[in-house]
A = this chain, B = another copy of it.
Amino acid sequence: MVAAGGLDIARFFLALAAILVAAKLLGELAERIGQPAVLGELVAGVLLGGSVLGVVPAEGVPAQMIHVLAELGVLLLLFEIGLETDLREMFRVGPASLAVAVVGVVVPFGLGYAYWMYAPHPAAGLGDLTTSAIFVGATLTATSVGITARVLSDLGRMATPEARIIIGAAVIDDVLGLVILSVVSGVAAGAAVTVLGVLRTLAVAVGFLVVAVLVGRFLVPRLFDVVVRMRVRYVLLTFAVAFALGLSSLASVAGSALIIGAFAAGIILSGTNQFDTIEREVHPLAAIFAPIFFVSVGASVDLRLLNPALPSSRGTLVVAGALVVIAIVGKVAAGWAAPWAPMRRLVVGVGMVPRGEVGLIFADIGRRSGVLPPDVFGAVLLMIMVTTFVAPPGLKAVFGRREESAG
């Protein structure tokens, strides 16, 4: 009650209520016009964001609170997806996922780097051209596993081989993204980047996932057979959520990403005997918090960047247009990366298109270190926005065509 250390709780809760209601109303509208609900939640974010209504807090402690609740939302979402993941099926599609991920990182990075080095473009960074080209390339690499997973789930396609390959590739993307992040951070700080350092980052990120799942699948089911004998209310759910939070933190400390820890926690708990209860009780939690993530992604969109009447935004729009083409072409090409796998290649390619959190992090490091000037930063933001907004209807369209294709 009243204010607590500068934070007006009543006002914050009112903003939260508005976020939840707007997410559901626009999600419903999206579904009624045949689109995935997540598209409506993103649009709700744009409307509630600083460009239009300014309901989503943009700075200070309330903004940090929304950020934490959004992270909790994407964490619960990945945890839920992990719970629904059949580990055996994932291993079966593993090589295809790996090929899709690697091609989907290398091609957009290469095209982005080449565009910045050799094509004419209006803006130049503060540092040398090579450094800013590396940054531009890096922002094009990582698929947003959160967006893609929600679209697949909205379309009711989570159990298809394409969905498994996409989710697997998006998770591998995040691991590769961490490696690129360490390189890019080093470049921004002016440090020498060694092959050994890159390999160490890769080993830590991959090692964490493998060790966590192997050890966890052995130990955790035994732990939960004890937990289930406790009498206090909702003890399974509480331990499951605490496990997801704890493994996410551990992943982050070990140099991996929070959401990879949450995904691993879900995969581990899918091997427990109490799996059904946990999954049923996690659903309402994820349903409340995940939309906060998508609304806050939408709220970060600055609509002024889209106005061609403003002279300042014309150059940005040109660069953004080029980046969008590279972003889409690069990831769609990745759909053809695994010629042996029986899958609809266009579906996989389109499914990899949305960029999100990781691209935003790269862009933000570049902006703060001065490597990316404001207009290039704006162009990267636009590219991330467009790929995010294009993917839900795109995936719906290609999945909707119902062709039975094996390449």
Instruction: Please tell me if A11 contacts chain B, counting CB pairs below 8 Å.
Output: yes
- Structural contact, A13 and B248, CB atoms closer than 8 A: yes
Instruction: Please tell me if A231 contacts chain B, counting CB pairs below 8 Å.
Output: yes
Point out the residues of chain B lying under 8 angstroms from A291, CB to CB: 238
Q: Annotate A48-84 by CB proximity to B: 1 below 8 A, 0 otherwise.
A: 0000000000000101110110011001000000000
| Known A-B contacts A61-B64, A65-B68, A231-B31; A10 and B258 likewise in contact (beta carbons under 8 Å) | yes
- Structural contact, B258 and A13, CB atoms closer than 8 A: yes
- Structural contact, A284 and B27, CB atoms closer than 8 A: no
Q: Annotate A6-28 by CB proximity to B: 1 below 8 A, 0 otherwise.
A: 11011111101110110110011
Point out the residues of chain B lying under 8 angstroms from A68, CB to CB: 7, 9, 12, 65
A366 to chain B, nearest CB (A): 15
Bound together, the chains give a CA A384 to CA B61 distance in angstroms of 29
- Structural contact, B28 and A232, CB atoms closer than 8 A: yes
Instruction: Please tell me if A115 contacts chain B, counting CB pairs below 8 Å.
Output: no
Instruction: Please tell me if A206 contacts chain B, counting CB pairs below 8 Å.
Output: no
Stretch binding the partner chain, chosen from A160-168, A239-247, A387-395: A239-247
Most chain B beta-carbon neighbours within 10 Å: one of A37, A61, A232: A232
- Structural contact, B1 and A357, CB atoms closer than 8 A: yes
A30 nearest in chain B by CB position: B232
Stretch binding the partner chain, chosen from A104-112, A249-257, A370-378: A249-257
- Structural contact, A24 and B239, CB atoms closer than 8 A: yes
| Known A-B contacts A31-B231, A65-B65, A249-B14; A238 and B288 likewise in contact (beta carbons under 8 Å) | yes
- Structural contact, A7 and B64, CB atoms closer than 8 A: yes
Point out the residues of chain B lying under 8 angstroms from A5, CB to CB: 63-64, 67
A9 nearest in chain B by CB position: B71
Looking at chain A's contact residues, the main secondary structure is helix
Bound together, the chains give a CA A291 to CA B6 distance in angstroms of 24
Instruction: Please tell me if A402 contacts chain B, counting CB pairs below 8 Å.
Output: no
Bound together, the chains give a CA A59 to CA B28 distance in angstroms of 41
| Known A-B contacts A7-B64, A28-B231, A245-B14; A237 and B288 likewise in contact (beta carbons under 8 Å) | yes
Q: Which of the residues B7, B63, B258 comes within 8 Å of A1, measured between beta carbons? A: B258
- Structural contact, B65 and A2, CB atoms closer than 8 A: no
A-B contact pairs, 29 of them (CB 8 A): A1-B357, A2-B252, A4-B64, A6-B64, A7-B64, A9-B71, A10-B249, A10-B252, A11-B249, A13-B245, A14-B246, A14-B250, A16-B242, A17-B242, A17-B249, A20-B245, A21-B238, A24-B235, A28-B231, A28-B232, A32-B231, A37-B233, A61-B61, A64-B65, A234-B288, A237-B284, A241-B288, A284-B285, A285-B288
Given contacts A9-B252, A10-B252, A61-B61, 5 further A-B contacts (CB under 8 A): A4-B64, A13-B248, A237-B284, A237-B287, A238-B291
